[in-house]
Amino acid sequence: MSIPFRIDPANHRCGARLPGKRKRHCRRWATPGHTRCKLHGSKATGPLTPMAPEGIAKAVARMVAGRARWLAKLKAEGKPYPAGRRKGGRNRSPGARERKAMEKEGKAGWRQAANLERDARKARATGALRARAELADLEARRLRFHAGLPFWPDAEQAT
């Protein structure tokens, strides 16, 4: 009695489809015990029980602990913590991107564009300050109204 021939997963090529115009397949060897190479799916990086709550909780706890170790290392080296969006590139404002393009092309008006952008930023900041002051004034009036005191400016002058 003969045993049917069976391909050992470790003795064949990965065969994953590669992107591009030419229809090609991966020619790397599959890792032992798997049908794919390490780049196309045999090295798992997530929890073994991805749908179970305990597997997700373990993975999240490990990620949090790893980030804490990384931040402690940065603090020990005296480096700043990375937070928020990175500066430059796609995270620039449209005006800054336009100014950078003008500067790169050698156009003359890029400095004027920078000044206009700075003025617009200042106007927004002063507008926000003015709005905050107005809200504080309205809050003070509301408190005076509920306390039974005069709350309009002309009523204060009359007393």
**92, part of any domain:** no
Same domain, 34 and 58: no
**159, part of any domain:** no
Q: Tens digit of pLDDT for each residue in 23-76?
A: 788 888 888 777 888 888 767 666 666 667 887 888 889 999 999 999 999 999
What letter represents residue 151's amino acid? F
Q: Please state the domain count of the chain.
A: 3
Task: Give pTM, 2 decimals.
Answer: 0.31
**Coil, strand or helix: which one is 66?**
helix
Rg (CA), the chain: 32
Domain span including residue 138:
114-145
Q: Are 66 and 73 in contact (CB under 8 A)?
A: no
Same domain, 58 and 34: no
**31, part of any domain:** yes
Measure CA of the first residue to CA of the last residue in the chain; give whole Å. 115
Q: Are 26 and 14 in contact (CB under 8 A)?
A: yes
Q: Long-range contacts made by residues 140-145, C-beta under 8 angstroms, separation at least 24?
A: none
Torsion sign over Cα 77, 79, 85, 86: negative
Q: Tens digit of pLDDT for each residue in 82-137?
A: 877 777 667 777 777 877 787 778 776 767 777 777 888 888 888 888 999 999 99
